[in-house]
Amino acid sequence: MVVLAPSIWSCTGRQTSEPPIPPPPITPVTPGYIQGYDHRLGYGFEYPEDWEYQAPKVEFPLEKVEVFTKKGEPTRIVIRVKSTNLKSLAEVKAFGYVSRESILKEGFVEINDRKAYEVVFKQLVAIDPASVYDKAKLVIFLANDKEYEIRCHTIEDLYATSEEVFDHVINSFVIK
C-alpha cells in the first residue's frame, strides 16, 4: 500500500508544494447571500443569491457599476464606484444627488467603521395611467479618492418588503 503525502519530493530531494489556497472570506456569508469583493477597488458586500446581476460598461469618472435586480419586480440595488474630488460628506450632502423636496429622511451614519451620507427619498417615476412613486435609500461613502454609492430602490408599495434586504446589503458593505 502506498500513501501519498501532501507534498512531493523531487529528484534533488527538495520538497515542493502546491500553491497556497486563498483564505476564506473574513466574515461568514449570511445564508441566502453571496459575498462579493473587488480587490482592485477595495470594497466588498453581500448580495441576495437569487437576484439577477449586471455589470454595464462604464466610462471615466465611473470605475464600476454593479446592478442587482429582484426577479419579477422593479426592485434594484445599484453599486457605483467613481473617482471624485469631493473630500467630505458635507460636500456630498450639498452636492444635490436628490432634490430637496423628495427627501423623507437624511443624515450621516457609520457602517463598518466608515462614515457615510444616507438619504431616503421618494420620486415620481410614471404618471400615466396612474402616478407611481419610486422609494429609495442612497448611501454614499468617500474613501481612496473615490465615491462608493449604494442605491436601493423599488416602487413605493414594495419598499417595506425590500427594506430588510436593502439594509443587509448596505450594512455588509466594507471598504479597505
Q: What is the CATH number of the domain that holds 100?
A: 3.40.1000.10
**Residue 24 pLDDT:** 44
Q: How far is CA 109 from the centre of its chain?
A: 16
Residue-level pLDDT at 18: 56
Q: Which helix (H) or strand (E) holds 9?
A: strand 8-9
Between CA 165 and CA 176 the distance in angstroms is 23
Q: Per-residue pLDDT tens for 39-77?
A: 999 999 999 999 999 999 999 999 999 999 999 999 999
What confidence score (pLDDT) does residue 2 get?
41
- Number of domain units in the chain: 1
Q: Which residue range is the domain that position 124 belongs to?
A: 33-175
Is 169 among the domain residues?
yes
This prediction has a pTM of 0.81
Residue 8 lies in a domain: no
Judge whether residue 138 has pLDDT over 90: yes
The pLDDT assigned to 17 comes to: 54
The band of 107, judged by pLDDT with boundaries at 50, 70 and 90, is very high
> Would you state the pLDDT for residue 6?
41
Q: Is residue 17 part of a domain?
A: no
**Does position 171 have pLDDT exceeding 80, yes or no?**
yes
Of these ranges, 22-26, 123-127, 165-169, the one predicted with the greatest mean pLDDT is 165-169
Compute the residue count for the chain.
176
**Does residue 40 lie in a domain region?**
yes
Question: How far is it, in rounded angstroms, from Cα 53 to Cα 79?
Answer: 11
Query: Has residue 22 been placed in a domain?
Result: no
Does residue 25 have a cis bond before it (omega within 30 degrees)? no
CA–CA dist 42, 29 (Å, integer):
18
- Nearest of 48, 82, 36, 71 to residue 166 by alpha carbon: 48
Q: Cis peptide before 24, with omega less than 30 degrees from 0?
A: no
Domain annotation covers residue 11: no
Structural domain contains residue 12: no
Task: Tell me, yes or no, whether 18 lies in a domain.
Answer: no
